[in-house]
Amino acid sequence: MARPGRPAMPKPDLHPLVDSFLDMLTTERGAAMNTRHAYWRDLADVSLYLRSKRSSDVDKASTADLQAYLKDLAEKTHVKGQHRGKIAVRTVARRLSALRQFYRFVVSENIRQDDPTSTIESPKQGRTLPKTLSESEVSALIKTAAQGGSAESVRLVCLLEMLYATGLRVSELVGLPMSAIGEQNQFLMIAGKAGRERMVPLSDPAQKALKNYMDVRKQFIASDNATRQAEWLFPSRTSDSGHLTRQRFAQLLKDLARAAVIDEDRVSPHILRHAFATHLLSHGADLRAVQKMLGHADIATTQIYTHIVGDKMKKTVKDKHPLSKTGTDG
């Protein structure tokens, strides 16, 4: 399914090597379906270009073919106005990263002896800090959501409180099974990326919002498909999955932002995840604890948030956190 505002991509018949690579991502690396689809989009775009412009395909592409594609991509993103500046650079870098992983797989399978991406340099990117919201803006969103008084409002407040209390990825949040709820609504058990399970505590406001939502949850279950929908914490009467979709939740947040008089471009499920991490760190939370709650495999990913919360926090992490020490031998 295409993202809102993005035209659906043609469904080309890709080279069998692409399917083999995607299967490897899923079976050996435990990649989520969203990740698999992102790689498919990247490699499909490359394949379409190579076939139409270079009379080639991904199995035979040369370094020159791929350089021509990346140049065309950079120019196209500027012309269409879809991406500008660092975003355009990031698009090219992401596409090149997908190509590198694909050709490393091809070489590892002895299908090709050479990696055509090995001499292609990545575009230089400046540091891009995660977008976030202030604590007062998050409070305004929650208060605005609560004003409706309907079952939909109660559900939206619950989604907001749980996301802000846990920092879950949006796919984790909307796909929570009922079995994820811990004793007396005090915590959640999350099955994250690559099968890594983690326990995330719920704040008092989140526990209260969850209790209120459970009183109206049955209104989101259709009688003709109750068994399938009932297994999800946030069931949906209309989605094929049986639960609320991330696209629908994102749209609900855009509508809420407008009602709260906040720039809708600054409000999304992922930005609320950023707000969770940023606000925790600004109040002195341990970096390792935040890493575990976010489900980051590498603490370096979590450390990016320290660049948002100010010089005081950066100095604390640099001076006090053992993983920030550098210059050790061995």
To the query of whether residue 69 is one of the catalytic residues in this protein, the response is no
Catalytic residue among 86, 104, 131, 193: 193
To the query of whether residue 78 is one of the catalytic residues in this protein, the response is no
HEC secondary structure over 136-191: HHHHHHHHHHHCCCCHHHHHHHHHHHHHHHHCCCHHHHHCCEHHHECHHHCEEEEE
To the query of whether residue 273 is one of the catalytic residues in this protein, the response is yes
To the query of whether residue 49 is one of the catalytic residues in this protein, the response is no
To the query of whether residue 305 is one of the catalytic residues in this protein, the response is yes
Report whether 247 contacts 193 (CB < 8 A). Answer: no
Catalytic residue among 39, 49, 213, 305: 305
Catalytic residue among 217, 273, 274, 279: 273
- In sign, the C-alpha dihedral spanning 235, 216, 163, 160 is positive
Instruction: Write the CA distances from 68 to 1, 40, 59, 93, 96, integer angstroms.
Output: 28, 20, 16, 14, 12
Among 242, 220, 218, 248, which residue's Cα sits nearest to residue 229? 242
Q: b or e along 187-225 (b: 16 or more beta carbons within 10 Å of the residue's beta carbon)?
A: bbebebbeeeebebebeeebbebbebbeeebeebbeeee
To the query of whether residue 103 is one of the catalytic residues in this protein, the response is no
Catalytic residue among 83, 104, 254, 270: 270
Catalytic residue among 49, 95, 155, 169: 169
List all residues 6 or more positions away from 250 whose beta carbon is below 8 Å from its beta carbon: 4, 170, 268, 269
Backbone angles phi, psi at 278, to 5 degrees: -65, -45
**Catalytic residue numbers, as ranges:** 169, 193, 270, 273, 296, 305
